[in-house]
Amino acid sequence: MSTAFPARGVSAWTFHKQFQNNTLEHPEFFRIIADLGVRDVELIAAFLPSQEPEYLRGIRQAAEAHGLRFVNIAIDDRYDLSSADAANRRNAIDRTIAWLDAAVILGCPNVRNNSGGENMDACVESFTTLAAEAGKRGLNMLIEAHGGFSSDAAIILPIIDRVRQAHPGRLSLVADFGNVYTTPERDRYAQIRDMAPYASIIHPKMHNFDENGDQPEWNTARLVKIVLDSGFDGPWIVEYEGSNDDPVSGLNKSYALLERCFQLAKE
């Protein structure tokens, strides 16, 4: 178990209000997060208005000028990869493949899409196709714990296992601390414990903080310890979604909390 604090990471979703209001563009976003000591960046497909190679090369160059690297492109699409409707599913696959091509230009190793929650066999079929396409490009597909099948380890892990039989190593999870289903029988900690060995990226979801700098909704230190005990050594990509702090203040508090959690894991 490595308890060294990892490189700082951030999801562009942390700044979703600014991107959606057209008050922030990627070059300024890169400058802001670089000033916070960030290295690893998750891009949001919806915030990239073009897949033209010239535009994407410009985005990559702007990030690299600040010493940043892309680790994932997150897709949230209106088409469903688990749909029983073949045309709907084909649209979702084709649109994802387009982002795989974009990822090559951006130098980004991973593309994430959602599992959906309609038909498990259709989901397996879609991600088997996408894992093959990712492999042709030297990339990997990811599924985030993000609703549908993906938020329950008991459902999503068998789906991943089936895809991996055909394409080992080409499909993994983004394990998100906030996006898992919880029941009295299976709480948040059990879900993350099961998901962590399948994860290539961790989203330590952050909401609001109390006077001690902790999140009262769940025990972040316990979740960090579970992930570290699994042997995970990939990117930790903070997704701050709180309402009491602006994105920069929220990220600063997020990194301070994570640093304390990693320190506690050493003890």
Compute the distance between CA of residue 138 and CA of residue 31 in angstroms, rounded to an integer.
29
pLDDT range class, residue 4, cuts 50, 70, 90: confident
Residue 43 has pLDDT above 80, yes or no: yes
Compute the distance between CA of residue 71 and CA of residue 238 in angstroms, rounded to an integer.
12
Query: For residue range 190-238, what is the model confidence (pLDDT) as tens digits?
Result: 999 999 999 999 999 999 999 999 999 999 999 999 999 999 999 999 9
Return the pLDDT at 2.
Answer: 62
pTM confidence score: 0.96
Query: For residue range 234-252, what is the model confidence (pLDDT) as tens digits?
Result: 999 999 999 999 999 999 9
Compute the distance between CA of residue 174 and CA of residue 72 in angstroms, rounded to an integer.
10
Please state the rounded mean pLDDT for residues 86-113. Answer: 97
Return the pLDDT at 5.
Answer: 83
List, in order of start, the domains of the chain with CATH numbers. Answer: 8-266 (3.20.20.150)
Query: For residue range 62-81, what is the model confidence (pLDDT) as tens digits?
Result: 999 999 999 999 999 889 99
> Kindly report the CA angle at 101 between 99 and 105, in degrees rounded to 5?
105
Residue 111 has pLDDT above 90, yes or no: yes
- Tokens 């985005």 appear where? 59
